[in-house]
Amino acid sequence: MEVKHKKAPSKLHLRKGDMVKVISGNAKGESGVIKKVLVEKLRATVEGVNMITKHVKPNAQNPQGSIEKLEGAIHISNLMVVDPKTGEATRTGRKANDKGKLQRFSKKTGEFL
């Protein structure tokens, strides 16, 4: 039986470099900057949030092997963009700027992000 995956939307409400707050899950309440967005999986890695432990096998460069702490990916539905003006989590929308190009804006303050 084949598993059907939901198709990723053409545009996400998050981008690399955005300051975000985690709104649900184990890391609820934490915030950080997005390091990477995995569009196909609808997930993002956030700096310092959802830390996981990875065991690295010994190799030529690292003969001992090691245990590393890395950021795990979080589903984008559990993240909200932080408004740079107020510092609070906000929903985002899209509207045309003065040049007619669609741009993200904060629904709390109405300011472009």
- Which structural domains are found in the chain, ordered by start? 14-82 (2.30.30.30), 84-113 (no CATH)
- Classified as helix, coil or strand, 104 is strand
Averaged pLDDT for residues 65-92 = 91
Task: Say how far apart CA 45 and CA 28 lie, in whole Å.
Answer: 14
What pLDDT does residue 97 have? Answer: 86
Tokens representing 88? 């609070």
Residue 85 dihedral angles phi and psi, to the nearest 5°: -80, -50
What whole-number percentage of the chain has pLDDT above 70? 92
Residue 2 dihedral angles phi and psi, to the nearest 5°: -90, 135
Task: Say how far apart CA 52 and CA 1 lie, in whole Å.
Answer: 32
What confidence tens digit (pLDDT) does each residue in 17-54 have? 999 999 998 889 999 999 999 988 899 999 999 999 99
Averaged pLDDT for residues 47-63 = 92
pLDDT of 89 strictly over 70: yes
Tokens representing 111? 């300011």
